Structure 1
Amino acid sequence: MRVLVLGGSGFLGRAIVEDALARGHQVTTFNRGQSNPDVPGVEPVHGDRGVTADLERLVDGRSWDLVIDVNGYVPRVVGESARLLSGHAQGYVFISTVSAVKDFPDKPATDESGIWDCAPDAGPDDGDYGVLKAGCERAVEQAFAGNVLIVQPGLVLGPYENVARLPWWLTRISHGGQVLAPGEPDRPMQLIDARDIASFTLDHGEKGTRDRFMVTGPAGNTTYGQWLELCKQVTGSDAEFVWVDDDFLKEQGVGEFVELPLWSADQEERANFWSISTAKAEAAGLHVRPVAEMVRDTWEWLRHIPEEKRVYGSRMQHGIAPDKEAAVLSAWATR
């Protein structure tokens, strides 16, 4: 097949491109060419999807069997891409997010859940990340004349992660010593490797599936404690985990999700963060590799990168500062 990937040089986009190439597909990527090098083997086209002239240059004389849109965040921009690509491709896959599901994580995300209210022509200031992704879904469905597949990933980790969640924990734990571990070690999680999303996306893109799927790991495929222990095992660290409860961490001003990646205090408004139904996707062939394999492969990629060069893209930097971690551990020990 001829496949166009909008994005395709970063984390999930890279996984999709590498899988598509391994399947023997001809792959074109379209991105600004600023964040990451192009994956070897693709036809790279550089441009800004927010500039109509760049999109027109992309489609001039080209056509594809399938478009996979990995980096759409603003509905009106995504809608313009879908409109201009209509007639140049048979199918369009939009990579959304489970955050587009209405009332999540206040309520569990199920196959019957709707998405947030957001107009297909909304601009960047018309909502938060999840709301705008819902508008992007509508924009594609309305603007593209062909098969539309919506993929809503949950929490994505794996090699080449550019957000510094698993990479930060691996780096920190590799240093050893006492490590601040947040909340309860038996708190269940739902994690998925980007490569598994890529495989599922291409399987259904090749079939021309018209549908939408929430795609993440099965409920409780690991716990926070098991996840950190896996990081300790693969790094060969002598780390000693010191488990500190939610309320104490909040009293100390420790930032959820960012300072201690993937940690969220037990609170009503996020009670269902790890409650995402995967039944429909599993029935459609979703296969999720063991979390241990994901952690191992991520460390194998990361350990060859000097720490001073472990740059994770332009998003917010994750991880607690060493002096703050030490202060929290000291306060916990003397409470």
Structure 2
Amino acid sequence: MSPLRVAVAPDSFKGSLDARDVAEALARGWASVRPDDEIDLVPLADGGEGTLDAFEAAVPGAVRHLVDVPGPDGRPHTASWLMLPDDVAVTELACASGLPLLAAPLPHDAHTRGLGRVVAAALDAGARRVVVGLGGSASTDAGAGVLTELGARLLDSVGEPVADGAHGLSTAVRLDASGLRPLPVDGVTALTDVQAPLLGPTGAAAVFGPQKGAGPDDVLALESSLEAFAALVDVDPATPGSGAAGGTAFGLLVWGATLAPGAAAVAEAVGAATRLRRADVVVTGEGRFDSQTAGGKVVSWVLGAVGGGGARVCLVAGVVDATTAELDPFDAVVETSELAGGAERSLAEPVAWVEAAGAALAARQPR
């Protein structure tokens, strides 16, 4: 059996395992079947959960800072951010205003004030450029919470500040940006993992609202709130990616940020493209593989990076909900919920079943 060079390059399994834990479990499973193979761990992120960890591991001199923030339901929470050399700050919505921070979904009231507090702390520390990883949001507030923490005021018909969350957007008639902090000198880049616009059937409310506890009537109300906010500002709600993270990308565009594909930015930071091209086999994965994956997720970036280079590409996912055509690019696919005999059992012991998936993929390799 000839040894193989194997690159293990997954995203996190959101709400279950971070990308490094996934990579390590896959590697252990693989090595249990093929102990002589050379395995390179390349955990990735797309701007969501794990973005800070990826930059911290890849950039020498990165310094992690902690800051107390209001979580998406207002409860106190400690979030973190990184200062990289050359005064580049990296922040992550997931660790400040992410869905797992809620005790229960709050589709109308959850907000992004925590992320705004983190960005403000980075500016106070002298950041010349801010990178904001978007993904895993608990809210659909169009980034209003971020703007509020940065000095803007969203006002109702009598000039009073509106409530936090999407509920407040529905009563807003004016955005007072006179106190909004200026962009840092080298700007702000928001890393997105989707190309969704703010509004419409593929927008923030319709596609992602149900993931945050919104029922059909809630989705209609959220859409109306987002429309009301979009009417107050001079940013096109049809901008691709503006619907990312419950529209937080849209709010950052209001501030003057630019959007960029998150998976590509993180991959560049860790030198992933070169490492994948050296491999005979690339193993990638995410918690749920479905039609949204192609919109900018890690798995789609990996497929593009490997291209026609000759490496076999294998997929591991907690759940696979895809067509045959969407699975065609992969040489092998393993679904941990299928291995475990059900999604509930897979989620109960995620490390064990991801490790089993790594072993299953190794067993399928030519000898």
TM-score, shorter chain, exceeding 0.5: no
Higher RCO (CA-CA < 8 Å; seq separation 6+): 2
